[in-house]
Chains A and B, each alone.
Chain A
């Protein structure tokens, strides 16, 4: 995989990884086996967690980006559209649109948190339970 490296370097590198893992766990309460991450990676629960989390996270992030940059592009290219009055009054269509962007930020975060609590947390509990040493 890394044709330029020699076996000796590989061994040194592996030793460093082990040492750094030991160092990073030294301060924490967890008393896990340092090499258990390979086992966890194979755990179907873990694979499902990763799949769910990344598809939900990136989808919602993309929706937020589209909403926000859609709004910014309206501001930049179609300010007159945002200035269209609603009905007979002075309130323009831009006011509810701006407020909707704010409300959507809150709602999207809410969707994420509720999905995460109902889907990720049980999976994480299962993974942690199965790998407690």
Chain B
């Protein structure tokens, strides 16, 4: 553990120096170095490094590393799941969306939330009863290990990669704005801390970082929304009335706008948001960290409560920003204000900064520092979870189960996942720097579409349908994966905006392919399973009953290891 303390010291020593260096070359869209923010951020990082050190002492076996030995309680896991979901994108992005379009922001929040009840009702308990470390454990329970593990690992890694790039680029941009650090320093800092948390502390450290951040974020958002409502005498009507007066769209911010243009797009997006949730590997792995199925089910209940509450807060925060930020010249870019005459368009740093400026408006510099530090912490916690999910796919599914045929030495398996984490961390840093000036918003959509079209169908069919065979899962899963990727590439958002082809030339008119890629995946799985007459298919079907009994009762499930 000497290496660990060494890194800790280096990091703490370097941090203010880095910040100072950045301060001298500040310019453009960067802000002045915010010492309150940096102080609180250092506080947060120190605390999480202490936790990582504590967790590393207690992380001995593979079960400790991947699933915390099943020792996370339902309440803690609920906060961690909520933390995974309350990413910087949803905190800053949704409040920014409410700031620019009002009601439309609520439509996104609702879509992100409603996946959770469905996860609870249909798969949470079965996942815990069947799985050990990764969702591939569940999908390959009675199917051909090699093929299904490879499919699941592909689905996991592609999802994780796109999500990770989007988070890294977002992190770099955000930190540049919040702390006045250079983009590349910010990306390396995030990547480096992520590697430390995951390699030393495994899921225990990753979970605790997520829990602390979730508590801080819920506290900060509650304070902000409370302050906004206090300004308006706790009358939402007064808040909305003022917002409709000052917003250039006037009363139109109180109803659905142009964000969702056609019904098919709306339904397709809804499907991707709802079922993508149930296929994201870094979310699914959280079900293996609790004691049993009962705790898994409860943790989703808590998570749904926290996330729903948080989204209601972001709605108030967005409207608060319309009334308090867009009317205050201190937060606006004078040049743009001159040109557009709109406080909404002129916000410094773009609409994603609405919540950050609001923190300054209601709580002054100290609270601004707090919210900035929490926003950075949010990114760190989410990328750590993603890196761990990706590393588990490599070490547990590919190395231990496919390469070593399930007979890997536990220490070797953990070592491979640490190496995989370092590899993913370096890759994320490089890709983060390469994609600096690219529009990466589509990557999150892509991650959700792939999760909904490859991971989710294979998982749900393996749990519920006796007729599923290895061949059916393999063909259907890859059909979903490929059609989701193609659908996103050929969509207007990527074809016209990112690639720059003529407007209206995109071969697919849907922004999100989920409606047809999910259909294709399910149809492929069904068709190639019922046509499958191989010996393997017979084994697959015969294995269902034993799997079903275990999925329902938990008899034989990987137990919690006591320490």
Contact = CB atoms under 8 A, between A and B. Distances in A.
A101 B114 contact: yes
Interface in B476-519: none
Interface string A44-55: 001001100100
B10 interface: no
Given A49-B553, A112-B117, A16 B270 contact: no
A121 B292 CA distance: 11
B555 A32 contact: yes
A90 B556 CA distance: 58
Nearest to B303: A109
A102 B311 contact: yes
Contact of B546 (A17, A49, A80, A98): A17
A117 B111 CA distance: 27
B301 A110 contact: yes
Contact of A24 (B113, B141, B236, B240): B141
B412 interface: no
Contacts of A56: 121
B256 A94 contact: yes
Nearest to A125: B553
B535 A92 contact: no
Contacts of B311: 102
B132 A61 contact: no
Contacts of B270: 68-69, 72
Given A17-B542, A37-B549, A65-B118, A27 B254 contact: no
A113 B546 contact: no
B542 A13 contact: yes
B275 to A, nearest CB: 11
A105 B304 contact: yes
Interface string A16-53: 11001101110111101000111011000010011001
A40 B110 contact: no
A73 B121 CA distance: 23
Interface in B296-314: 297-298, 300-301, 304-305, 308, 311-312
A72 to B, nearest CB: 5
Chain B contact-residue range equals 35 or more
Contacts of B267: 69, 72, 76
A65 B257 CA distance: 23
Interface string B88-127: 0000000000000001001101110110111011100100
Interface in B250-281: 251-252, 254-257, 260, 262-263, 266-267, 270, 274
Given A61-B121, A94-B254, A28 B308 contact: no
B282 interface: no
Contacts of A83: 251-252, 254-256
Given A5-B538, A109-B300, A75 B266 contact: yes
Interface string A79-102: 110110100011110110011011
Contacts of B263: 73, 76-77
B396 to A, nearest CB: 12
A9 B349 CA distance: 67
Q: Is the interface of A mostly helix, strand, loop or mixed?
A: helix
B407 to A, nearest CB: 10
Interface string A97-123: 011011101101110110011000100
B117 A64 contact: yes
A50 B244 CA distance: 52
A80 B257 CA distance: 10
B304 A24 contact: no
B528 to A, nearest CB: 16
Contacts of A108: 117, 121
B552 A116 contact: no
Given A13-B535, A13-B539, A46 B240 contact: no
Contact of B308 (A76, A102, A116): A102
Contacts of B244: 90
A46 B550 CA distance: 11
Interface of A: 2, 4-5, 9-10, 12-14, 16-17, 20-21, 23-25, 27-30, 32, 36-38, 40-41, 46, 49-50, 53, 56-58, 60-61, 64-65, 67-69, 71-73, 75-77, 79-80, 82-83, 85, 89-92, 94-95, 98-99, 101-103, 105-106, 108-110, 112-113, 116-117, 121, 124, 127-128, 131
Given A85-B254, A109-B305, A128-B555, 4 more contacts: A57-B121, A68-B114, A75-B256, A92-B255
17 contacts: A13-B535, A13-B538, A17-B539, A17-B546, A28-B556, A28-B559, A53-B552, A57-B121, A61-B121, A79-B256, A90-B237, A91-B237, A94-B106, A98-B110, A109-B300, A110-B301, A127-B553
Interface of B: 103, 106-107, 109-111, 113-114, 116-118, 120-122, 125, 132, 141-142, 236-237, 240-241, 244, 251-252, 254-257, 260, 262-263, 266-267, 270, 274, 294, 297-298, 300-301, 304-305, 308, 311-312, 406, 533, 535, 538-539, 542-543, 545-546, 549-550, 552-559
